[in-house]
């Protein structure tokens, strides 16, 4: 889906008749870390390569940064990330924990309950979602129930966690699980007799892809927080979803796919600014700074000082059909704050960190 959305954006950008056309070279790492690094190194070293786009695996950012530094390449990452890595070699399209949770945690306290049990994987992004979630929840008047459950990535046996949920006075279960673990947890939750209508699972990692894997029956009633949902109603999103369908896409687009789409459009905007000047990964990155484009989620802008994107967080519930219904949306684009717990810190495009 990320590939399809990116190729769609390239086609749309090239149809506008700009002097410098975008061309794509597609590679698939098969979700294997070693292959991702090798593929990234090969793509970054290709003559004429101006940008590499793809979701950086959680826990691999330091290694990826090394590959990018050696080749003076830039990775345009459409995936969510934990923040904290300040580097001029990454351009971020996905949400930081602050963007994901700023509105979700107060909404949970007001609409559902104050006592929240946190569960997530032991990967960096999930750990940071849990850490920030606990802090934002406390600021909103809620409380974490005991210590969070941090489980190895890919884990699918949640017997002990389900017993704890039943044993303690929990009002909301916060899940930062991803991939097969996220789907397996929803299935186990349903099989254990829990219902989201009585004790909901709320998650900033729940996407159309996870719902499809878990099944609508297991996911119905769960709450999600994402900057984009395929069911979001806007003229731009209707065009986006229809265009993907016409390309043969059979899955609903996810927030990561939408981010890949608008990152390509940001590249195109940077090319327009350069007007035929000599190109390189760093030159393209600089030209994209503070550029804004109309995205399916709303108008987004890439901040030149942090290389993160201002996004429009939304809260949605999974309907019995398996589609999301948006319940709330931020009234403004939310600034990316990679250092949520340290508001005095700021990231700059040169990689320096200062107060």
- State the SS3 of 310-346: EECCEEEEECCCCCEEEEEECCCCECCCCCCCCCCCE
What are the DSSP calls for 153-186, one per residue? TT----HHHHHHHHHTT-SEEEEE--HHHHHHHH
At residue 228, does pLDDT exceed 60? yes
Confirm or reject CATH 3.40.50.2300 for domain 2-95+234-312, answering yes or no: yes
The reported pLDDT for the residue numbered 85 is: 67
First to last CA, the chain: 39
Confidence of residue 31 (pLDDT cuts 50, 70, 90): confident
Counting Cβ atoms within 10 Å, is residue 167 exposed (0-12), middle (13-18) or buried (19+)? exposed
Greatest C-alpha distance within the chain: 65
Instruction: Please state, in angstroms and rounded to a whole number, the distance separating the CA atoms of residues 314 and 333.
Output: 11
For residue 38, CA distances in Å to 29, 57, 73, 162 come to: 9, 13, 14, 40
Query: How many C-beta atoms lie closer than 10 Å to residue 349's C-beta?
Result: 18
Instruction: Please state, in angstroms and rounded to a whole number, the distance separating the CA atoms of residues 229 and 253.
Output: 8
346 vs 320, higher pLDDT? 320
The reported pLDDT for the residue numbered 30 is: 80
Q: CATH number of the domain at 99-226, please?
A: 3.40.50.2300
Instruction: Please state, in angstroms and rounded to a whole number, the distance separating the CA atoms of residues 130 and 354.
Output: 25
Instruction: Please state, in angstroms and rounded to a whole number, the distance separating the CA atoms of residues 40 and 136.
Output: 36
Confidence of residue 231 (pLDDT cuts 50, 70, 90): very high
User: Taking all residues of the chain, what is their mean pLDDT, rounded to a whole number?
Assistant: 91
Closest CA to 197 of 220, 177, 170, 175: 220
Q: Is the separation of the CB atoms in 126 and 176 below 8 Å?
A: yes
pLDDT mean over 165-194: 96
Tens digit of pLDDT for each residue in 185-211? 999 999 999 999 999 999 999 999 999
φ, ψ of residue 99 in degrees (nearest 5): -65, -35
At residue 348, does pLDDT exceed 70? no
Counting Cβ atoms within 10 Å, is residue 106 exposed (0-12), middle (13-18) or buried (19+)? middle
Tens digit of pLDDT for each residue in 82-141? 876 668 899 999 999 999 999 999 999 999 999 999 999 999 899 999 999 999 999 999
Instruction: Please state, in angstroms and rounded to a whole number, the distance separating the CA atoms of residues 225 and 32.
Output: 27
Strand ranges for the chain from DSSP E: 52-53, 75-77, 90-92, 115-121, 143-144, 149-151, 172-176, 201-203, 223-226, 292-295, 298-302, 309-310, 314-318, 324-329, 346-347, 353-354
Q: Note the pTM of the prediction, 2 decimals.
A: 0.93
Q: Which residues pair with 223 in a beta bridge?
A: 202, 317
pLDDT mean over 64-82: 93
As annotated, the residues of the chain forming the CATH 3.40.50.2300 domain(s) are 2-95+234-312, 99-226
Instruction: Please state, in angstroms and rounded to a whole number, the distance separating the CA atoms of residues 293 and 55.
Output: 20
Instruction: Please state, in angstroms and rounded to a whole number, the distance separating the CA atoms of residues 75 and 53.
Output: 6
The reported pLDDT for the residue numbered 276 is: 74
The reported pLDDT for the residue numbered 117 is: 98
């Amino acid at each position: 889906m990320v590939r399809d959305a990116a190729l769609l954006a390239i086609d749309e950008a090239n149809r506008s008749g700009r002097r410098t056309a975008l061309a794509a070279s597609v590679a698939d790492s098969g979700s294997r870390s070693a292959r991702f690094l090798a593929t990234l190194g090969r793509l970054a070293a290709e003559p004429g390569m101006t940008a590499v786009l793809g979701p950086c695996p959680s826990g691999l950012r330091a290694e990826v940064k090394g590959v990018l530094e050696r080749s003076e390449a830039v990775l345009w990452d459409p995936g969510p990330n934990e923040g904290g890595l300040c580097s001029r070699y990454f351009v971020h399209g996905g949400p930081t924990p602050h963007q994901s949770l700023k509105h979700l945690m107060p909404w949970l306290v007001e609409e559902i309950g104050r006592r929240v049990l946190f569960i997530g994987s032991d990967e960096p992004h999930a750990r940071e979602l849990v850490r920030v979630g606990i802090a934002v929840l406390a600021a909103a008047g809620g409380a974490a129930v005991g210590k969070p459950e941090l489980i190895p990535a890919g884990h699918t046996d949640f017997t002990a966690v389900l017993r704890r949920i039943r044993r303690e006075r929990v009002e909301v279960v916060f899940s930062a699980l991803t991939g097969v673990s996220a789907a397996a947890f929803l299935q186990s939750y349903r099989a254990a007799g829990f219902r989201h209508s009585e004790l909901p699972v709320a998650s900033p990692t729940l996407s159309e892809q996870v719902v499809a894997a878990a099944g609508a029956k297991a996911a119905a009633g769960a709450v999600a927080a994402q900057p984009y949902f395929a069911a979001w109603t806007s003229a731009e999103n209707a065009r986006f979803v229809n265009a993907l369908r016409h390309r043969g896409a059979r899955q609903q687009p996810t927030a990561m796919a939408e981010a890949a789409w608008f990152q390509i459009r940001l590249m195109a905007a940077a090319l327009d600014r350069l007007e035929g000047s000599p190109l390189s990964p760093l030159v393209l990155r600089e030209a994209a700074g503070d550029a804004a484009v109309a995205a399916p989620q709303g108008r987004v802008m890439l901040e030149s000082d942090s290389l993160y994107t201002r996004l429009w967080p939304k809260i949605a519930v999974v309907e019995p059909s398996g589609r999301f219904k948006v319940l709330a949306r931020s009234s403004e684009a939310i600034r990316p704050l990679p250092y949520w717990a340290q508001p005095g810190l700021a990231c700059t495009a040169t990689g320096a960190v200062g107060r």
